[in-house]
Amino acid sequence: MTKFSDLNLSPKVLKAVDEAGYESPTPIQAGAIPPALEGKDVLGIAQTGTGKTASFTLPMISMLARGRARARMPRSLVLCPTRELAAQVAENFDTYSKHVKLTKALLIGGVSFKEQDALIDKGVDVLIATPGRLLDHFERGKLLLTGVQVMVVDEADRMLDMGFIPDIERIFSLTPFTRQTLFFSATMAPEIERITNTFLSAPARIEVARQATASETIEQGAVIFKASRRDREGSEKRKVLRALIDAEGEKCTNAIIFCNRKVDVDICAKSLKKYGYNAAAIHGDLDQKQRMATLDSFREGTLRILVASDVAARGLDVPSVSHVFNFDVPSHAEDYVHRIGRTGRAGREGKAFTIVVPRDEKYFDAVEALIQKEIPRIENPVKPVEKPKRAEKPTEERPSRSQERPKGEEKRDSKPRGRNRNEDRGRRSGGGRDHNVVGMGDHLPEFIALSFEERRAS
């Protein structure tokens, strides 16, 4: 079995790796670190949770241990699609470079430009950034990329989904042609393939798993759900979600719930808290301080359930997430792989459940086609409520028309058959034998009847 000591890493880096409790590299680390140390370009294709971050941080620290950065000219650049992933990469550098004197700066949104400018002015060896914030600093004249020796693009397929590819191409054009490029992605879409062919020079290709496959240590399941009424779908789906969590019981030590829309993230988190669950939301509209505080509490275990949008599907490195619940089926099948990849990391077992409503069936079919396996269907944990049957009213036998009505029994309000309106008018005007006033019933005032009698007498 290969060990980190066999990969030609510097002794100080090996010491930090040993103190972190790691002995053997993952397949992507064992394949990517040697060519990276030799100065070759690297194209790494591996699913989420396989240790891609360490596969470029370890060789970078070893290579950058010699030399010193100049003001506003970083020696290396790491591009990440989200703030959370950038923060995670920065934590990895802190862990593995504690015995090496390297400086770093984190350029992400939600943090003051002034603080970031101060770090860049001092000179940094490692610059970790999201594409938008990096270009903001460059356009303000606070940053030069001509001194970049090593450039890393992490989660390139997520960059594609978020529309960062034009920014990536521009950043490539601002860096020296002689740079070393380390390019990592979970999938290889045609656009990603085009970029690697354009900007990488004879890269060492390391592919440790079939493209877009889910880890075998993750137990998957799907609940096919149809609401009783369209306007009740949201509340009934949340009821199914709570039932799934309750059914797992103590096995569900912590969980991430994914929703497609930010508004559903907030609604779902508030609903869970209302029913007594320890839950909080995280999505792109929250400020950076609040997002980091929520993530820290989830990593520390004080928060049990994290409700997230796909902004958190990549870059969350919490090794012991026991469950993932897809409240919505992702519209992009690749996102399913990254979502459930938050559990079952580093060889651990995990569970992932998905709630599928009728309008999501086409997306769910695309997911199964991508991972090339059928996801087992599980029974809806919410038992349908049986409506009480209405008691049947006893039917009374009605006499048939042929039966004769007893003599002396007549309907009060029935009209004699065969009469027309003219005959009725004649009777009301006194021309017939019926002298009663029609329409007043038994409650005819005496003074009115008296007036009619006087008129008839005259």
Residue-wise DSSP of 104-168: EEEE-TTS-HHHHHHHHHH--SEEEE-HHHHHHHHHTT----TT--EEEE-SHHHHHHTT-HHHH
Residue 280 has a pLDDT of 94
Question: pLDDT band at residue 314, thresholds of 50, 70 and 90?
Answer: low
* Choice between 450 and 236, residue whose per-residue pLDDT is larger: 236
End-to-end CA gap in the chain: 131
What's the rounded mean pLDDT across residues 103-121? 87
Residue that the structure tokens 């907030």 belong to = 266
Q: Which two tokens stand for residue 108?
A: 């992400």
Q: Where are the alpha helices (DSSP H) in 185-261?
A: 190-199, 233-248
Distance CA 399, CA 413 (A): 19
**3-state SS, residue 438:** coil
**Amino acid identity, position 381:** P
- d(CA 384, CA 228) in angstroms, rounded, equals 10
What pLDDT shows up at residue 138? 93
**Greatest extent of the chain over all pairs of C-alpha atoms, in Å:** 136
Of 284-293, 327-336, 368-377, minimum mean pLDDT range: 284-293
Residue 148 reports pLDDT greater than 80: yes
What average pLDDT does this structure show over 433-458? 59
Q: What is the mean pLDDT of the chain?
A: 83
Question: Most confidently modeled of 152-161, 232-241, 316-325?
Answer: 232-241
Q: What is the average pLDDT across 25-54?
A: 89
- For residue 411, what pLDDT is reported? 47
pLDDT confidence band for 88 (50 / 70 / 90): confident
pLDDT at 142 over 50: yes
pLDDT value of residue 39: 94
Higher pLDDT, 338 or 174: 174
Task: Name the one residue in this structure whose structure tokens are 């997230």.
Answer: 308
Mean pLDDT across the stretch 395-414? 51
Q: Would you say residue 353 has pLDDT above 50?
A: yes
Q: What is the per-residue pLDDT for 444? A: 61
Are residues 294 and 83 in contact, defined by beta-carbon separation less than 8 angstroms? no
Helix 165-174 and helix 190-199, axial crossing angle in degrees, nearest 10: 0
Of 55-59, 218-222, 318-322, the range with the lowest mean pLDDT is 318-322
With a cut of 50, say whether residue 432 has pLDDT above it. no
Identify the residue whose tokens are 């054009």.
Answer: 173
pLDDT category, 403, cuts 50, 70, 90?
Answer: low
Four-residue CA torsion sign, 303, 304, 308, 311: positive
**Residue of 111 and 106 predicted with greater confidence:** 106
Beta bridge partners of 185: 45
How far is residue 154's CA from residue 452's CA, in Å, rounded to a whole number?
105
Which domains, from first to last, does the chain contain?
A: 4-207 (3.40.50.300), 218-371 (3.40.50.300), 428-457 (no CATH)
**Which DSSP letter does residue 216 get?**
T
